[in-house]
Structure 1
Amino acid sequence: MIGLFVSHGSPTILVEDIPWKKLMREVGEKIRSEVNPETVVVISPHFISWSGKHLVEVQEKLECIQDYYGFPDELYKFCYSADNDVELARQIVSAGKKAGLEVEEDSSWGLDHGAWIPLSYMFPGLRVVSISITDGTPQEHYKLGEVIAQASSGRRVLILGTGSPTHRLDGLYLGIKPKQSRFDQVLMGLLKEGKFDEIMELPKTKMWVEAQPEGLLNPLYTVLGFVKPRKAEILGYDVPWGGVSMLAVRFE
């Protein structure tokens, strides 16, 4: 199985001329030519359930949500919705319950900007399944990935986790000069070395607290559980804004 973790960045990426948009398009084109996925399961750090239950959207259409506020008007001209793979969504709920995972059907969300921005550049036109994270442990989200993989057996399903490994918005607002964080250095080193078990332990470190990874990196842990990777390939890395980094990784 193949999985991707790709940072979606600030909504301003929609109008900025930055290389990350080209990278997303190129990665999407390559995956489509190699794998030809029929469905993308997306895990966004902005779809978070505080009830402790993972919510799986089961409505026919996953509508675009512009969940960002106070930005220039031009950013609200952009939106992307997608058809839901309802059959797979319900199979994931069923498999999750059998595995003892707290999971339930939902129809109150859609595609937030952490989902629809990368999807619009990488996999336009494909069906999507949208699943929430919780504030639970890396192990819980790894198990969620395993459940998604089980439910996807025999189908061409790709998983896409999004978010920024370093997400210090105070640095962004204060205009701090962009630079690579110690956390990013360590994370990428572990990825290159295939030390995925050690990545699961990063929340116990001081540098984790300093980096404030978006969504607690739970989308990444879900991708790891889905793929159970032998290797990771770093496709791109950037720090376009102070305090916020961008990372793209392919897992196999």
Structure 2
Amino acid sequence: MMMPVLFLSHGAPTLPLEPGETGAVWKRLGAQLPRPSAILAISAHWETRIPTLSLAVQPETIHDFSGFPEELYRLQYPAPGAPQMAKSAAQLLQQAGIPVRLDDSHGLDHGAWVPLSLMFPQADIPVAQLSLQPEQDPAWHLELGRALRPLREQDVLIVGSGAITHNLRAVFTHPDHEPAPAWVTEFCDWIAARIAEGNLDALSAYRELAPHAEQNHPSDEHLLPLFVALGAASKVDDAHHLNRVMTFGLLAMDAWLFDGAG
């Protein structure tokens, strides 16, 4: 069986404390998915120059944020690591001509453990992380995802975790109770339409083609996990659009399930 592929907008670190509608979607999703043998998470919060895979046997829960309620820092997600799966992923990348490094100390950052804690709260599925390369473009990350596609035949769930919109400076000045402005909704609609078309060329050129691209993404890192997921998917244009919630007025929580029933 081929496991599906996910892209999730992981939102604020407080999601486990205030799950709301998005948390309910993640919980239903975890219950509906076939049980994976392991999870490979590609989070916007781990950036390296060369793709790096985590080999930690018991990855620590990384609280890579500040200024939040103390309760949040007490949360742990004690999932076991997946070093053998990570080594298999490294071999696939090497076979594709992509340089790779291994790291036996990196834990799970909040881009990984926040959504997984809602999807798989028992924390009993092994997890490894793969870093992003912010110096590389979306097309490069598509190829990264394509190289990883065979993992899905080993019942590995590939999860890209980022954000469809990510302008935090604007979030801090936008009143929560006001609807999202057109520069946010038009960008989200453009991304959704291109995914529905399976138009990977246009998506890869989103900075040139999408409306308000730079305003929604001052830097690429939170959208790059989408491209890894798109590359790992066998078919894009029948993707299931899971979630269209807006938080903090400007942060779109859109998510997609690729190659799955939804």
CA distances 1:104-147 after superposition (whole Å, capped 9, x unpaired): 11123210011001111113311112100011111221121122
Is the 8 Å Cα contact of residues 64 and 79 (structure 1) preserved in structure 2? yes
CA distance in 2, matches of 1:139, 1:216: 15
Q: Which secondary structure does the structure 2 equivalent of 1:62 belong to? A: coil
CA distance in 2, matches of 1:102, 1:247: 31
CA distance in 1, matches of 2:96, 2:16: 39
CA distance in 1, matches of 2:140, 2:170: 30
Q: For residue 204 of structure 2, what is the aligned residue in structure 1?
A: 200
Q: For 1:6, which of 2, 5, 8 is the aligned residue?
A: 8
Q: Does 1:145 align with 2:150?
A: no
What is the number of residues matched between the two proteins? Answer: 246
Q: For residue 113 of structure 2, what is the aligned residue in structure 1?
A: 116
Q: Does 1:45 align with 2:52?
A: no
Unaligned runs of 5+ in 1: none
Is the 8 Å Cα contact of residues 171 and 242 (structure 1) preserved in structure 2? no
Q: For 1:190, which of 191, 194, 200 is the aligned residue?
A: 194
CA distances 1:70-104 after superposition (whole Å, capped 9, x unpaired): 11212212121321221111121122123211211
Q: CA deviation at 1:204?
A: 2.5
Q: Does 1:161 align with 2:163?
A: no
Q: For residue 58 of structure 2, what is the aligned residue in structure 1?
A: 61
Unaligned runs of 5+ in 2: none
Q: Which deviates more, 2-11 or 99-108?
A: 99-108
Q: Does 1:245 align with 2:252?
A: yes
Is the 8 Å Cα contact of residues 54 and 102 (structure 1) preserved in structure 2? yes
Q: Percentage identity across aligned positions?
A: 30
Q: CA deviation at 1:214?
A: 6.1
Q: TM-score, normalised by structure 2?
A: 0.87
Inter-CA distance 109–103: structure 2 relative to 1 (3 Å threshold)? same
Q: For residue 216 of structure 2, what is the aligned residue in structure 1?
A: 211
CA distance in 2, matches of 1:3, 1:232: 10
CA distance in 1, matches of 2:19, 2:95: 46
CA distance in 1, matches of 2:220, 2:124: 27
Inter-CA distance 214–25: structure 2 relative to 1 (3 Å threshold)? farther
Q: Which secondary structure does the structure 2 equivalent of 1:165 belong to? A: coil
- Structure 1 segments of 4+ aligned residues over 6 angstroms from their partners: none
Q: CA deviation at 1:158?
A: 1.1
Is the 8 Å Cα contact of residues 40 and 128 (structure 1) preserved in structure 2? yes
Q: Which deviates more, 236-245 or 174-183?
A: 174-183
CA distance in 2, matches of 1:62, 1:55: 15
- Paired letter, 2:127: V
Q: Which secondary structure does the structure 2 equivalent of 1:13 belong to? A: coil
CA distances 1:154-173 after superposition (whole Å, capped 9, x unpaired): 41111111111111111221
Is the 8 Å Cα contact of residues 81 and 128 (structure 2) preserved in structure 1? yes
CA distance in 2, matches of 1:154, 1:73: 41
Higher strand fraction (1 or 2): 1
Q: TM-score, normalised by structure 1?
A: 0.91
CA distance in 1, matches of 2:153, 2:71: 42
Is the 8 Å Cα contact of residues 40 and 159 (structure 1) preserved in structure 2? yes
Q: Which secondary structure does the structure 2 equivalent of 1:229 belong to? A: coil
